[in-house]
Amino acid sequence: MSNDTRAWTGLIFGLGLCGTGLAYVIYYFIVENLGAVAAAGVTYIPPVVALVIGVFLAGDVIHPLGYLAMVLILSGVALLQYGSRRASVSKG
């Protein structure tokens, strides 16, 4: 693969521009429109999505501790969002 120019071009375009570049733009869009707390909360979602994809599409077996971790992550994100909304309502 190291000699295949098309593969390297695809990797640079796919991962660099479409993956990292798009994520960078979306992240700053979220910060501008929803605030820093929401942007920080978004970073905790990919492991949950990866776990769900692994279970349903790849047939991975997840131990109960994995499901507990997923619930804790989603609960933490919900608490962050609830706390930030509550604080902004009390200020305004």
Residue-level pLDDT, tens digit, the chain, 92 residues:
567 888 888 878 877 777 777 888 888 888 888 888 777 777 777 888 888 888 898 898 989 998 898 899 889 878 877 776 666 666 65
Domain ranges within the chain, ordered by starting residue: 1-34, 35-92
Please answer whether residues 54 and 60 qualify as being in contact, where contact means their C-beta atoms are separated by less than 8 angstroms: yes
pTM of the model: 0.51
Please answer whether residues 73 and 47 qualify as being in contact, where contact means their C-beta atoms are separated by less than 8 angstroms: yes
Please answer whether residues 81 and 37 qualify as being in contact, where contact means their C-beta atoms are separated by less than 8 angstroms: yes
Residue 2, helix vs strand vs coil: coil
Residue with tokens 């991962």: 15
Look up residue 92 and give its two tokens.
């305004």
Look up residue 60 and give its two tokens.
């991975």
